[in-house]
Copies of this chain bind each other. A is one copy, B any other.
């Protein structure tokens, strides 16, 4: 299973990006997690460019199309989603490969419910399949934990492994890419 990991922060020391890199390290052999590197290269969304999208947008769409599932981790800025994650999604709104795509949403700051709710509302509106069993809160904000620290701390490492396992089983259970438009969540 190919998982495209998307961070909503461009900060080099972003705890959300670090979490996604840790997920790539901890992934079992049957799951390949790749961090989306094009997010920071995307132009601001402009509907006028939809017919001839810039190359960075083409790359984003190709990566999304090739992925069996998405793993999103994004911070909250001023009680809202980051402009960066919303801009990424804005370029995917009219992209048909996004429909029915299984998505897990990781939240590194459980207190930050505004951005998490808004992100989920947008994903549902875009007809993604939010895999609830894989969408977990992993409180990391303010901990200054390193990437190695996450991989070595049993509670965090296990939460990441459980999320990937749940995402994997949701993808395996999904009948086909033209399957049901309602959330597939085999619990």
Q: What residues make up the interface of A, taking CB atoms closer than 8 Å to B?
A: 9-12, 39-40, 42, 44-48, 77-90, 93, 114, 118, 121-122, 124-126
CA distance A42 to B10 in the complex (A): 14
Q: Which residues from B are CB-within-8-Å of A88?
A: 83
Asked whether, in the complex, the Cβ of B79 is within 8 Å of the Cβ of A122, the reply is yes
Asked whether, in the complex, the Cβ of A48 is within 8 Å of the Cβ of B121, the reply is no
Asked whether, in the complex, the Cβ of A86 is within 8 Å of the Cβ of B83, the reply is yes
Asked whether, in the complex, the Cβ of A48 is within 8 Å of the Cβ of B90, the reply is no
Which residue of the partner chain, among B40, B47, B48, contacts A44 with CB atoms under 8 Å? Answer: B40
Asked whether, in the complex, the Cβ of B46 is within 8 Å of the Cβ of A11, the reply is yes
Minimal beta-carbon separation of A83 from chain B (angstroms): 3
> Given A83-B83, A86-B86, A89-B83 in contact, is the A78-B122 Cβ separation under 8 Å?
yes
Q: Which residues from B are CB-within-8-Å of A81?
A: 80-81, 86, 118
Q: Which residue of B lies closest to A126 (CB)?
A: B78
Q: Which residues from B are CB-within-8-Å of A86?
A: 77, 80-83, 86
